[in-house]
Amino acid sequence: MTRLTHLQMLTVAAPDVQELPVFEDTAVDDARWKVIAHDDPITTMDFVVWAMVQFFYKPLIFAEAIMWQVHTEGQSVVDVLPKAEAERRVAQATFAARLQGFPFRFTIEPDQ
C-alpha cells in the first residue's frame, strides 16, 4: 500500500456521492400503545425517575408520581404512543436498566 503525502491527501478528489431517495410511509400506524412500567424489588426509585425523564421525557414531578405509583400499586402507565415509538423507548430504557444491573421491566399493550 502506498502512502500519500500530505499534499496528495489534500488534492484527492472526493468521491461522487448520490443522495438516497426519501420515501414517505403512507401507511402510518396510528394505533396507540400503552407503555406500562412494572415494580420489582431491586430497581432503585432514583433509576425509575431518571428513566422516566430520560426516555419518556416526563417532567420531574410526573416522573416521581409514576415512580410512586409503580412502587405502591405494582405498575403504572408511563405513556401512550404509536407502537414503534413505544417499542423504541422501552428498548432504550430496558437497555439502560440492564447496564445498571436492574431488572426493571416494561410491557406494551394496545390502548383502547
- Residue 19 placed within a domain: no
> In terms of pLDDT, which residue wins out, 72 or 1?
72
Query: Which residue carries 404512543 as its cell?
Result: 81
CATH number for 106 = 3.30.1390.10
- Residue 5 placed within a domain: no
Q: How far apart are CA 15 and CA 96, in angstroms?
A: 39
DSSP one-letter string for the chain = -PPPPHHHHHHSPPP--PPPPP---SS----EEEEEEE--SSS-HHHHHHHHHHHH---HHHHHHHHHHHHHHSEEEEEEEEHHHHHHHHHHHHHHHHHTT---EEEEEE--
For residue 47, report the phi and psi dihedrals to the nearest 5 degrees: -65, -40
Nearest to 86 by CA among 51, 36, 38: 36
Grid cell of 25 as nine digits: 410511509
What's the confidence (pLDDT) of residue 21?
Answer: 53
What's the confidence (pLDDT) of residue 5?
Answer: 55
Report whether pLDDT(83) > 70: yes
- Residue 23 placed within a domain: no
- State if pTM tops 0.75: no
- Residue 76 placed within a domain: yes
What's the confidence (pLDDT) of residue 44?
Answer: 97
- Residue 61 placed within a domain: yes
- Residue 6 placed within a domain: no
- Domain coverage including residue 75: 31-110
- Residue 25 placed within a domain: no
- Residue 47 placed within a domain: yes
Q: What is the mean pLDDT of residues 90-112?
A: 96
